[in-house]
């Protein structure tokens, strides 16, 4: 789903499903369920995945992201190309700004 559609979808879910107001996992499950179905994932498979997510039986996506960041901070060899590209662009911008 594109970012421009996310705002309205999140707003709609928060209004229709108050439990999502206090549960990121519930909110994620509802969004991903809709996306799964739009990509042709079997309804039962999507339901099972989302149920596991809401019940907290799957790793939290935000925790995974933060852990990846921390590991890459400590171990530079595990950084991807995106990091290096951003550093190069940042250097060019700082160089231009300081002229």
- pTM, to two decimals: 0.72
pLDDT for residue 21 = 95
Return the exposure string of 63-95: e unless at least 16 CB atoms fall within 10 Å of the residue's CB, then b: eeeeeeeeeeeeeeeebeeeeeeeeeeeeeeee
pLDDT for residue 81 = 87
From first to last of its 99 residues, the chain has per-residue pLDDT tens of 566 689 999 999 999 999 999 999 999 999 999 999 999 999 999 999 999 999 999 999 999 999 999 999 999 999 888 888 888 888 888 888 887
């Amino acid at each position: 789903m594109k970012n421009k559609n996310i705002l309205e979808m999140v707003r709609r879910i928060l209004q229709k499903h108050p439990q999502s107001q206090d549960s990121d996992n519930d909110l994620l499950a509802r969004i991903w369920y809709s996306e799964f179905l739009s990509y042709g994932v079997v309804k039962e498979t999507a339901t099972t995945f989302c149920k596991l997510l809401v019940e907290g039986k799957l790793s939290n996506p935000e925790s995974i992201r933060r852990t990846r960041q921390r590991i890459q901070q400590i171990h530079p060899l595990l950084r991807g190309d995106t990091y290096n590209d951003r550093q190069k662009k940042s250097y060019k911008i700082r160089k231009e700004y300081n002229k």
